[in-house]
Amino acid sequence: MNKMALITVITLFACVLLFFLVLWKNSPGKPSPLLDEAGKTVAGSISEKIFVPIGGIRQGMFIRSKDLQNPVLLYLHGGPSFPNYFLVEQYQPRLEEYFTVCYWEQRGGGLSYHADIPSESMTFDQLTSDAFEVTNYLRKRFGKEKIYLMAHSGGTVIGIKAVARAPQLFHAYIAMAQVTRQAESEKIALRYMTDEYTNRGNQKLVQQLAPYTACESDSCLKTFFRSGLRDKTMHELGIGTMRTMLSVIRGVFIPSWFCHTYTLPEKLKMWKSKFSLLPRAKFVDELFELNIPLTFPKLEVPVYFLSGRHDLTVNYLLAKDYFEKLEAPLKGFYTFEKSAHSPLFEEPDRVRAIFEQDILHNKNGMSDELNSANSPA
């Protein structure tokens, strides 16, 4: 028995060691260069990871561009403060073909995580203030009067606040999975999930969801929002990050560890933030108090909404209803029939076409309103 136990311990130790060696090898922490068809670095291109003092702390970002003469696009990831650059690396949406793209990692998350950041500083107002600093850094560095702003999910709260406060800084606002009334969105999702699991005969999950479905209070919904149960069920039903991403472990957790642009310590920080700082962040409470349609009935820049038909993480129909009432000098709503929460990664070819044909030319010809093929049935 002692010999067998020793062999077992040695085998387990070897497996753990091999696992960490594989992770270390896949964590050089340097973005790949942008290559031409011959496999050579594109002349005049940029692909870098940098750190800049923003809002009094050191914050990280990736900047990629095939041509620095192109317009600048600031991408605000969701979460808030949980970056998804590892999905950019995995699915290659190739926005750098049209823009100098800055993938900024918001305070408290990913490259911008610091253990001493107080949770009370994690507010939407502070994140918006940070976004202005990043915007002005990009304007100055690349010599642009205005930039484009693209926001995803929780990042849309930051994005819409920034555009409303300083429209003169932005060419357009592009919202993927626009937040509207998140408390109502969670209630709709819970009803849908309960019905789906009931139809599938999965009483175990129906019972697990029951306390949240029966509870109408925001505090109860916030508890659900922070729970692992929400991630599990949304992905399992195809209404989470991606329509075909049926497991948050296989679709998010594992890919994040094999993203080459982060070092191993940076990957550890990403998940340390996810499980320690973000659940305590003040913006979670703020998210459930917001009524975006009531607060921002009008914007002074062109507005583009990219929404997945199957998105119940940030409800598609609530975003559509808000868009129809929103006043803007130009606007376009784009339904992605095969997508849930992330059309940029689920249908990247169509996203690029929308940028190329509509957004960069201040048009909305591919929108649902002007293209009946994309209109909801």
Please name which of 86, 83, 84 lies closest in space to residue 26, comparing C-alpha atoms.
86
User: How is residue 56 written in tokens?
Assistant: 């009094």
pLDDT tens-digit series, residues 98-119: 999 999 999 999 999 988 888 8
- Res. 376: pLDDT tops 70: no
Measured between alpha carbons, how far is 347 from 330 in angstroms, rounded to an integer? Answer: 23
Bond preceding residue 80 cis, omega within 30 of 0: yes
* pLDDT number for residue 76: 97
- Res. 28: pLDDT tops 90: no
All domains in the chain, ordered by first residue: 46-182+287-374 (3.40.50.1820)
pLDDT category of residue 14 using cuts at 50, 70 and 90: low
Ramachandran angles phi, psi of 139, nearest 5°: -60, -45
The mean per-residue pLDDT over the stretch 220-243 comes to 91
Lowest average pLDDT, out of 19-23, 138-142, 229-233, goes to 19-23
Measured between alpha carbons, how far is 267 from 315 in angstroms, rounded to an integer? Answer: 30
Strand partners, 60: 51
CA 356 to chain centre: 21
pLDDT category of residue 374 using cuts at 50, 70 and 90: very low
CB 122 within 8 A of CB 277: yes
- Res. 153: pLDDT tops 90: yes
pLDDT category of residue 12 using cuts at 50, 70 and 90: low
- Res. 22: pLDDT tops 90: no
* pLDDT number for residue 373: 47
* pLDDT number for residue 175: 98
Strands (E), the chain: 46-54, 57-65, 72-76, 100-104, 147-152, 170-176, 303-308, 331-336
The mean per-residue pLDDT over the stretch 35-46 comes to 87
CB 171 within 8 A of CB 148: yes
Ramachandran angles phi, psi of 177, nearest 5°: 65, 65
Give the sheet arrangement for strand 46-54, strand by strand. Answer: 46-54, 57-65, 100-104, 72-76, 147-152, 170-176, 303-308, 331-336
| pTM score, whole prediction | 0.91
Measured between alpha carbons, how far is 338 from 224 in angstroms, rounded to an integer? Answer: 26
The mean per-residue pLDDT over the stretch 209-225 comes to 85
* pLDDT number for residue 9: 64
Measured between alpha carbons, how far is 26 from 74 in angstroms, rounded to an integer? Answer: 27
Measured between alpha carbons, how far is 177 from 319 in angstroms, rounded to an integer? Answer: 7
* pLDDT number for residue 179: 97
Q: At what angle do helices 218-226 and 203-214 cross, to 10 degrees?
A: 140
The mean per-residue pLDDT over the stretch 322-345 comes to 96
- Res. 36: pLDDT tops 60: yes
Q: What rounded mean pLDDT belongs to the chain?
A: 90
Reported as type and span, the H/E element at residue 257 is helix 254-257
Question: Which DSSP symbol is given to 253?
Answer: I
For 69, residues 6+ apart whose C-beta sits below 8 A from its C-beta are: none
CB atoms within 10 A of CB 195: 12
- Res. 15: pLDDT tops 80: no
Please name which of 223, 208, 212, 205 lies closest in space to residue 189, comparing C-alpha atoms.
212
pLDDT category of residue 217 using cuts at 50, 70 and 90: confident
